[in-house]
Amino acid sequence: MQVKDKNANVVAIIGGGFSGTMVAYHLLRQSDKPLQITIFEPRTTLGLGLAYSTPCPDHLLNVPAAGMSAFVDQPLHFLYHAQTLDDRNTPETFVSRRQFGQYINGLFEAALREQVGHSFEHRTQTVVDIERRDGRYALQLADGVAYDTDVVVLATGNLSGRPFRWAQAFADDARYLHDPWQSGAIEAIDTNSDVLLLGTGLTAVDKLIELHNQQHRGRIWATSRHGLLPFAHVERWVGIKDERDWDDLDGPLGTLRGALRQLRSRALRNMVQDKEAWRPVFDGCRANTQIWWQGLELLEQKRFMRHLRTYYDVHRHRMAPRIDHVVQEMRRDGRLQIIAGRVMGAHDNGGKIAVQLQPRHGGDSIELQLDCIINCTGPQGNVEAVEQPLFRNLIAGGLASKNAMGSSLLVQANGCVGTFDDGFYAIGPLLQSQLLESVAVPELRVQATNVAQAILRRFD
């Protein structure tokens, strides 16, 4: 039962990954008024979320240690922590994601131990709906219990989508793995089985690493519309940014075509010396990406999402060099084949699942006979296509509306859900279509600070 401390303002944070946990951290550290904070998070450990709860030590960060501090004003905070774990860690080291999760959890636990005057609770419950009642918010939990609060923070992060229509027939079939993060699921795959990964992004790469680690001997195919794997970091360019002139956002850079032209010409200029030197150019414009994106016309944003997003993502979210070596080795020795194409259908073929694929660049369709299919399509960006009901309920109830892109909630760049500050905030991947860059720690640590400050101002 919810017992409200009469003097305390109530803050409910939905989601206890990096974003939600860091908002709670800042509130505990900075509020001089008593707060009653609850994080609703089904995972038992806070701070990990989807990305950092993996037990696999070879799932590495895709950002070097010097870029992963939890704090905007202490950029090397994580690096120093990582060096206490292993003094061989340098600013360029790609540390394991598990260690990063432990770092965030450790920060939060320390803030909790040292706080005075607040109350905190972690409820391992999913929130399914929110209503506005008498100037406050009523959360509806999956177990039917209600929870009243003054402020809500949506920090629900990377959401999974529903199975493709063709895969729905296999929803309860052990050979189709819809949730690739389900504990023990990859270990249960027979090492001689033929496997199809749906997707060729970082989720697929994680699953390849796990299959490699358990000495998988069967054939592996990975397919996506473009058939593009993420590029890799190369050691000599890790952490180096070419930031020349990117703050000049007027003129041709303000359009999609202008920005692409600039990016391309700078990259090509650098590549005359070193063909890998497009990376610092790409990383150098990141500090301005959000401003540039918000200045683009809606039509241009939609065009980017439709035609360029995949190419942007494979250049932007790169794999650690060590991971790339493993993936390339699997391709070279024939264990892994990548197919650019579209799945047209699938049927049960005795012990196997037969999948029909239409290659992207024409030619006859391909039929694969598979023992196992793993959904690696990654997070779903369209809030109405996600598995969980919260977002559909929020839109149906009128508490949130869809943004102009039509795929996400209307959230202001400052995190307010809706058009003004009503004590209802969102943080993290939910803001991706508003900001473009709203997924990785370097952006999320800024948002966590800003949302916590907006809440503190509200209670002032």
Ligand X SMILES: Cc1cc2nc3c(=O)[nH]c(=O)nc-3n(C[C@H](O)[C@H](O)[C@H](O)COP(=O)(O)OP(=O)(O)OC[C@H]3O[C@@H](n4cnc5c(N)ncnc54)[C@H](O)[C@@H]3O)c2cc1C
What is the binding site for ligand X (CB under 6 A)? Answer: 14-20, 40-43, 49-51, 61-63, 97, 126-127, 155-158, 202-203, 206, 388, 390, 428-429, 439-441, 444
Closest approach of ligand X to the CB of residue 155, in Å: 5
How many other β-carbons are positioned within 10 Å of the β-carbon of residue 240? 12
Cα 432 to Cα 384: distance, rounded to the nearest angstrom: 15
Closer residue to ligand X, CB minimum distance, 203 or 375 = 203
The C-alpha torsion from 174 through 142 and 416 to 285, rounded to 10°, is -20
Closer residue to ligand X, CB minimum distance, 219 or 233 = 233
Closest approach of ligand X to the CB of residue 287, in Å: 15
Closest approach of ligand X to the CB of residue 19, in Å: 3
Closest approach of ligand X to the CB of residue 17, in Å: 2
Closer residue to ligand X, CB minimum distance, 119 or 388 = 388
Cα 393 to Cα 399: distance, rounded to the nearest angstrom: 9
Cross-strand pairs, 122: 39
Closest approach of ligand X to the CB of residue 327, in Å: 15
Closer residue to ligand X, CB minimum distance, 167 or 441 = 441
Over its C-alpha atoms, the chain yields an Rg (Å, rounded) of 23
Closest approach of ligand X to the CB of residue 291, in Å: 20
Cα 139 to Cα 132: distance, rounded to the nearest angstrom: 9
Closer residue to ligand X, CB minimum distance, 320 or 353 = 320
What is the CA angle 134-19-138, rounded to 5?
A: 15
Cα 28 to Cα 113: distance, rounded to the nearest angstrom: 10
Closest approach of ligand X to the CB of residue 174, in Å: 23
Instruction: Give the DSSP letter string of 156-177.
Output: --SPPBPPPGGGGGGTT-TTEE
Cα 310 to Cα 229: distance, rounded to the nearest angstrom: 10
In this structure, are strands 366-370 and 352-359 parallel, antiparallel, or unpaired? antiparallel
Closer residue to ligand X, CB minimum distance, 45 or 270 = 45
Contact of 455 with 424, CB cutoff 8 Å: no
Closer residue to ligand X, CB minimum distance, 199 or 423 = 199
Closest approach of ligand X to the CB of residue 14, in Å: 5
**Tokens matching residue 4:** 């409200």
Closest approach of ligand X to the CB of residue 430, in Å: 8
Closer residue to ligand X, CB minimum distance, 203 or 223 = 203
What does residue 100 show for φ and ψ, rounded to 5 degrees? -65, -40
Kind and range of the H or E run holding 237? none
Cα 35 to Cα 5: distance, rounded to the nearest angstrom: 9
Residue 214: C-alpha distances to residues 95, 208, 253, 421, 444 (Å): 21, 10, 47, 50, 34
Closer residue to ligand X, CB minimum distance, 157 or 284 = 157
